[in-house]
């Protein structure tokens, strides 16, 4: 293999490195790095397959074989059901399609950073595998490394479009370094002359590969960047919903900037058995970032939602709060979050994949699911003002519910000033709630927020704009609660809608965000600082009597329907099970078995390509030294020529055999023509003069030219087979002298 071939292999390895460095940009939109090892395995297998194929005159069938390698790798990591764990079957493709469908839903409904569960990891591995193939083919086969940069740019653009802040500087630097390395290797390996036919073929290959790459890159960018980076409630437009269903989901975050997108109302739920007007909670947001707003915390494994559910931390079971049965029918709602009222104790009519986290109060699944009607067995705590005022002590909740990093001293002083006259936790919370709902303070409910005057959205709303919708009000009050030592979170869901013949109908117009504050012994208590007006909100009894309302919100009805029997008295509904969390098939990471299979495939690929890579490195070094003209030049050229012969099955020269005799033996063995034999004799004479000449003798002359003629002639007479290229004999031959004794 000549220097050009060596450069092609080096370019392939650098292309792989560039793809992996560029892929680190996904860390900005993913909550962890569990996706990275499988992505590395996938990219290495695809790249090594390309390198191995190029050792045997790679042609048009190289791309399909690399795609086969990609499918095998995805099967090993995510299929799990194929023969030997790597051979795909129809069931394997069905499983991969399911995972990719889930990943698309996560992209549609999630907000960065999202956990890198199995579905997301599968999507990333598929994307990185395809990108590796494209960059490999463009930079190496198409000899257009500059065009490969367009594909890398598209990879970088995906997380850049989904993230709402600048990507890490090191991700950009890594991408730039990798791309520069590809350009460098590509320019060094570009031929200066060649046949017209070969040039035309290379141009055709470049145009074809580049065209396909641009189409794939544009499609990929469209799919991923079609998801907006600014949140709304509802979190997805009807246009983005599932085809023919108009189903809508919620984005799990609240932003202090943006606009509430109000299209024609879409019916989402029908509710039966709701004891009083209250809020339907889909999710809660625990983490505050002054730049990103409120965001989801990390989701634990949770407990099966179909079983008896534990009470939230710091909540006591009270006889005054009987269990109610509420029937919920999702009409146009589809999401990975199951909305519930009050404190859920059990949910009937749902699948095993739904989990419950008592700390956050959320019921969720690892994939967006179609859910028919379900029945929630819930309690509706109704503490009095006196009970809440008497609540004291530390709340047994995570410290994340008190974190306010970056809110600023001005916000802290405002919270203290508002609550200066409050003597207990409840009075402080009421004072903050009333600060937003009192018209005298100048806050206005409006679907259009005030123009931003700084990078601090919270300060913009509190001190300048004072105009916004539920997200702004809930976000601001939750921060102020934390500033005065009250654990808080933002809840996202829906108001109770309107009454229609004994049923409550909830539409997209009822999407809402509010605040929940924690009181020891009572758990999470609802506060709504948004001055909705028009009777759209609901006021709980513990707030209704605290002052005369002026914001138009109606108090909750006092009538109570007949309570349903407690689900824990007897029968199947009362049985408590403690099945292990491992029974849930919707895990959040790549299974250990899949990692082991992928690791084995990776090691196998490295093992097969290592000898060829070692041989290529030796070849590159010797050709470079042969062109230097310095001391030892002939020896380096001779050793490369011997390894070329050994790779073709010729026996290593025995100890004591002179270079001239070795040359004659090889010439006779392969029947080399006279011009090639002349080059062999020329190199043999040069290495003999170098070894046995006077001390300090310097061998000069066209050693590289002679080496090129000798190697080219040998390849023409005896080309290497695929196995000989993949596993060169010279890398395991013991008789090849590694150093020539050069007298100085």
Q: What is the pLDDT of residues 585-638, one digit of tens each?
A: 334 444 444 444 555 555 555 555 667 777 777 888 888 887 776 667 788 888
pLDDT range class, residue 369, cuts 50, 70, 90: low
**How far is it, in rounded angstroms, from Cα 462 to Cα 179?**
46
The highest-level CATH class for domain 253-583 is alpha beta
Is the bond preceding residue 464 a cis peptide, omega within 30 degrees? no
Question: What's the pLDDT tens digit per position in 451-488?
Answer: 555 567 788 889 888 888 888 899 999 999 999 999 99
**How far is it, in rounded angstroms, from Cα 507 to Cα 509?**
5
Which tokens belong to 657?
A: 């055999």
Residue 317: count of CB within 10 angstroms of its CB = 11
Which tokens belong to 395?
A: 């709340």
| pLDDT at position 734 | 43
* Span 650-657, average pLDDT: 77
Task: Give how far Cα 571 sits from Cα of 532, 566, 567, 672, Å.
Answer: 44, 11, 8, 92
Question: What's the pLDDT tens digit per position in 223-270?
Answer: 443 333 333 333 333 333 333 334 555 554 443 333 344 457 788 899
Question: What's the pLDDT tens digit per position in 305-358?
Answer: 988 999 888 887 665 568 899 999 998 787 888 999 999 999 999 988 899 999
- Domain coordinates in residue numbering, the chain: 3-229+591-601, 253-583, 627-731
* Span 85-113, average pLDDT: 77
**Any residues with CB less than 8 A from the CB of 399 and at least 6 apart, and which?**
none
Distance between start and end Cα atoms, the chain: 32
DSSP E strands, 286-418: 287-289, 293-295, 303-304, 324-330, 335-337, 340-341, 343-348, 355-357, 362-369, 374-379
pTM for this one? 0.47
Cα Rg of the chain (Å, integer): 35
The chain-wide mean pLDDT, for the chain, equals 74
**Any residues with CB less than 8 A from the CB of 223 and at least 6 apart, and which?**
104
């Amino acid at each position: 293999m000549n220097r050009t071939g060596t450069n092609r292999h080096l370019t392939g390895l650098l292309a792989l490195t560039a793809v992996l460095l560029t892929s680190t940009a996904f860390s900005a939109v993913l909550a962890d790095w569990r996706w990275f090892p499988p992505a590395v395995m996938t990219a290495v297998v695809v790249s090594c397959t390309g390198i191995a194929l190029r050792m045997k005159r790679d042609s048009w069938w190289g791309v399909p074989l690399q795609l086969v390698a990609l499918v095998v790798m995805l099967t090993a990591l995510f299929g799990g059901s194929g023969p030997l764990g790597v051979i795909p079957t129809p069931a394997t493709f069905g499983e991969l399609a399911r995972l990719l469908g889930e990943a698309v839903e996560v992209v549609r409904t999630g907000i960065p950073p999202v956990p890198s569960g199995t579905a997301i990891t599968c999507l990333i591995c598929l994307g990185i595998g395809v990108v590796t193939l494209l960059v490999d083919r463009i930079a190496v086969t198409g000899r257009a490394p500059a065009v490969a940069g367009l594909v890398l740019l598209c990879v970088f653009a995906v997380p850049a479009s989904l993230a709402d802040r600048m990507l890490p500087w090191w991700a950009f630097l890594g991408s730039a370094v990798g791309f520069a390395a590809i350009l460098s290797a590509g320019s060094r390996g570009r031929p200066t002359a060649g046949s017209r036919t070969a040039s035309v073929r290379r141009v055709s290959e470049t145009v074809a590969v580049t065209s396909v790459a641009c189409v794939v890159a544009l499609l990929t960018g469209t799919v991923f960047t079609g998801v907006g980076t600014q949140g709304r409630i509802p979190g997805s437009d009807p246009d983005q919903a599932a085809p023919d269903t108009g189903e809508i989901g919620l984005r799990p975050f609240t932003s202090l900037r943006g606009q509430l997108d109000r299209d024609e109302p879409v019916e989402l739920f029908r509710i039966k058995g709701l004891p009083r007007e209250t809020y339907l909670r889909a999710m809660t947001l625990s983490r505050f970032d002054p730049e990103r707003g409120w965001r989801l915390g990390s989701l634990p494994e949770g407990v099966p939602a179909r079983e008896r559910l534990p009470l939230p931390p710091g909540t006591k079971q009270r006889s005054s709060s009987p269990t109610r049965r509420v029937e919920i029918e999702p009409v146009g709602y589809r999401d990975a979050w199951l909305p519930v009222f009050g404190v859920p104790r059990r949910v009937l009519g749902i699948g095993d994949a739904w989990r419950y986290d008592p700390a956050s109060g959320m019921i969720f699944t690892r994939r967006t699911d179609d859910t028919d009607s379900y029945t929630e067995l819930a309690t509706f705590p109704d503490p009095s003002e006196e009970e809440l005022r008497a609540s004291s002590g530390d709340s047994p909740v995570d410290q994340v519910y008190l974190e306010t990093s970056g809110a600023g001293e001005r916000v802290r002083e405002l919270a203290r000033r508002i609550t200066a006259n409050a003597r207990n936790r409840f009075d402080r919370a009421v004072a903050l709630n009333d600060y937003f709902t009192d018209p005298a303070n100048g806050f206005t409910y409006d679907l259009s927020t005030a123009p931003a005057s700084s990078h601090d959205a919270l300060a913009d709303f509190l001190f300048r704009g004072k105009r916004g919708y539920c997200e702004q009000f809930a976000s601001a009050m939750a921060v102020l609660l934390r500033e005065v030592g009250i654990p808080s979170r933002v809840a996202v869901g829906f108001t109770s809608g309107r009454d229609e013949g004994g049923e409550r109908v909830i539409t997209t117009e009822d999407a809402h965000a509010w605040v929940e504050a924690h009181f020891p012994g009572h758990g999470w208590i609802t506060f709504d600082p948004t001055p909705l007006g028009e009777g759209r909100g609901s006021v709980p009894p513990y707030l209704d009597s605290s002052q005369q309302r002026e914001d138009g919100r109606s108090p909750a009805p006092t009538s109570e329907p007949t309570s349903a029997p407690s689900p824990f008295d007897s029968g199947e509904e009362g049985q408590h099970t403690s099945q292990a969390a491992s029974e849930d098939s919707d895990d959040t990471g790549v299974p250990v078995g899949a990692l082991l299979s992928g690791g084995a495939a990776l090691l196998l690929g490295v093992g097969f390509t290592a000898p060829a890579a070692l041989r290529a490195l030796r070849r590159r070094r010797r050709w470079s030294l042969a062109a230097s003209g310095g001391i030892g030049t002939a020896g380096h050229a001779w050793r490369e020529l011997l390894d070329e012969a050994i790779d073709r099955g010729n026996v290593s020269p025995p100890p004591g055999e002179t270079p001239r005799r070795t040359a004659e033996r090889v010439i006779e063995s392969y029947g080399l023509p006279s011009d090639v034999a002349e080059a062999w004799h020329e190199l043999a004479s040069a290495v003999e003069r170098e070894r046995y000449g006077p001390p300090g003798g310097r061998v000069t002359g066209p050693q590289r030219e002679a080496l090129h003629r000798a190697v080219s002639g040998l390849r023409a007479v005896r080309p290497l087979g695929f196995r000989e290229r993949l596993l060169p004999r010279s890398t395991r031959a013991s008789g090849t002298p590694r150093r020539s004794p050069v007298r100085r």
